[in-house]
Chain A
């Protein structure tokens, strides 16, 4: 069992929503330095300084579009959201 430190910190909902919006991915990972996917333009990144953003990949896992059950992973952190609107936007982005 990994130690609590390695199980990761919980990021705030706000910071992860910002990260998720920046990544603009559903069930996908994009590296911060990687090319933005075509649907990125549909989600306008929030304004914030670079040091607020995780510098590794952000992975968004929409577990259930209907309930808006979303997991977001960045660094060694994770958070779980229930946001039907965000889930719907992500789902639309991959169509």
Chain B
């Protein structure tokens, strides 16, 4: 998956597990940038009575690097506080929740937003209410209104939202993690001698009808970019205090000590499918500026050598590239430095030589006109899409599969001919594989699925 349960340690801590991060020029507010970080993966909508919520003991951050050093120049921090109105009631709500001030809503969360820039930390908003989880037609009868009420303008052109959303990232996990199967091509898979599949089948979106928790902030572009440097790097982190002890007398955890990073996410799938199992937990503790340590996983990805093995005869040119131990300068550019000028016509999101896994958004590229969006982003000719930042509908699984399969290597080596399969390989999904409609306005991810309507 993008980064859901991607590392051994963080998979045991879903509240702090970042799943996706998005950064794009807001299509309906093109003088702003929207940054979204998702947490708490694979939520079953009916997961009550203690429905999903952010961690009061987790520091959530969205970082922006605007000078290419892989260190945060601006960080937006989000801290949550849970309130229970009546401790004697076992229910999340005691009647319909018709507004964010409803007395029927027993367990609720609010949050503060701070900005860190240089050595300065400023709290810019406090007491902002999250929406409840989407429970069902009795408990949350007009969820769209509740969610709209939880979109908070906080002054100086900033708008924030934090709460449950429909999972917008689509991926066929069930097939991919069954030894690299891609249903549309499964007849070509080596089957490990088991001869299980004969015809190709359609992809299945594993994350459909599941929810996540999103932290979204829309920021005036001028707050983020330096003059003459329109490209920013974006990533999210979650941090916990170093000492956590179970207070058995009171039945709760107590925390102390400084916050330390336990989760990180920039480009989708880097820690998930490029870093090895023994490195994933360490990677989660480090800033992007340290990614030189892991650069070999990007330039010599194990997945590139697996594809010709799993799909015999389908990727002969990729197999030669791998056999020659060719360093994948294309992947290094896409994931670690940004794409220099002159590689793709009229496009660059290069931030300099520092190898750092960040979403890189060239803010000078306007959003694609309505109806002209290509979910394959830059490789599909749409310069406003991934890997120029990432929009909520971008098909990052297919884009990265094709890149790793060698499609983008031809951009840096004109003598290389990609295999024909490199431009066709996909898990077979599109934004239409997501049942919840994406929104055309902030926070862009769709309304969460409700528990009553999605009971299993």
Measuring CB to CB, which residues of chain A are less than 8 angstroms from any residue of chain B? Answer: 1-8, 28-29, 31, 34-35, 56-59, 61, 71, 73-78
Residues of A within 8 A of B121 (CB): 3, 5
Which of A6, A56, A57, A61 is within 8 Å of B258, CB to CB?
A6
Q: How far is the CB of B79 from chain A (nearest CB, A)?
A: 10
Q: Known contacts A1-B63, A34-B247, A35-B249; is A73 also within 8 Å of B242 by CB?
A: yes
Q: In whole angstroms, how far apart are the Cα atoms of A59 and B247 in the complex?
A: 12
A4–B59 Cα gap in the complex (Å)? 13
Task: Kindly state the separation between the CA atoms of A4 and B254 in the bound complex, as whole angstroms.
Answer: 22
B243 & A76 in contact (Cβ 8 Å cutoff): no
Does B243 contact A59, Cβ atoms closer than 8 Å? yes
A residues near B242, Cβ cutoff 8 Å: 71, 73, 78
Asked if B116 is an interface residue, CB under 8 A from chain A, the answer is yes
The yes or no answer to B261 lying at the interface (CB within 8 A) is: yes
Q: Tell me the complex Cα distance, A57–B245, Å.
A: 10
A59 — which chain B residues lie within 8 A by C-beta? Answer: 243, 245, 254, 256-257
A3 touches B247 (CB 8 A): no
On whether the beta carbons of A2 and B249 are closer than 8 Å, the reply is no
Given contacts A29-B245, A35-B249, A59-B243, contact A6 B59 (CB under 8 A): yes
Provide a sorted-by-A list of 21 A–B residue pairs whose CB atoms are within 8 angstroms: A1-B237, A1-B239, A2-B61, A2-B259, A3-B61, A3-B72, A3-B116, A6-B239, A7-B260, A34-B247, A34-B250, A56-B254, A57-B245, A57-B254, A61-B243, A71-B242, A73-B241, A73-B256, A74-B257, A76-B258, A78-B258
Assembly CA distance A77 to B256 (angstroms): 8
The contact of B254 among A1, A3, A8, A31, by CB within 8 Å, is: A31
Query: Residues on B close to A: CB < 8 A?
Result: 59, 61, 63, 72, 75, 77, 116, 119, 121, 237, 239, 241-243, 245, 247, 249-250, 254-261, 286-287
CB closest chain-A residue, reference B258: A8
CB-based contact A74/B61 at 8 Å:
no
B119 near A4: Cβ-Cβ < 8 Å: yes
Give CA–CA (A61, B241) in the complex, Å: 14
Contact A56 B247 (CB under 8 A): no
User: Closest residue to A5 on the B side, CB-wise?
Assistant: B121
Q: Is the CB of A8 within 8 A of B257?
A: yes
| Minimum Cβ distance to chain A for residue B271 (Å) | 15
A78 to B256, CA, bound (A): 9
Q: Which residues of B contact A75 (CB under 8 A)?
A: 256
A-side contacts of B258, CB under 8 Å: 2, 6-8, 73, 76-78
Summed over the interface, the residue pairs from A and B with CB atoms below 8 Å come to a total of 84
| B256→A1 contact, CB < 8 A | no
Chain B residue with Cβ nearest A60: B243
**Contact between B116 and A5 (Cβ–Cβ < 8 Å)?**
yes
A28 CB contacts on chain B under 8 angstroms: 245
Q: A1-B63, A3-B77, A73-B241 are in contact. Are A8 and B247 (CB under 8 A)?
A: no
Task: Assess the B249–A34 pair: CB atoms within 8 A.
Answer: yes
Is there an interface contact between B72 and A1, defined as CB atoms closer than 8 Å?
Answer: yes
Chain B residues, Cβ within 8 Å of A77: 257-258
Determine whether the beta carbon of B287 is less than 8 Å from that of A1. Answer: yes
Nearest CB of chain A from residue B164's CB, rounded to whole Å: 25
A28, B256: Cα distance in complex, Å: 11
Task: Give the docked Cα–Cα distance between A45 and B119 (Å).
Answer: 36
- B residues near A35, Cβ cutoff 8 Å: 249
CB contacts (< 8 Å) of A31 on chain B: these are: 247, 250, 254
Interface centre among A2, A75, A76 (most CB of B within 10 A): A2
Other A-B pairs, 12, CB within 8 Å; known A1-B261, A73-B241, A76-B258 = A2-B59, A2-B239, A3-B61, A3-B121, A7-B260, A8-B258, A29-B245, A35-B249, A57-B243, A57-B255, A57-B256, A71-B242
A1 CB, nearest partner CB in chain B, Å: 4
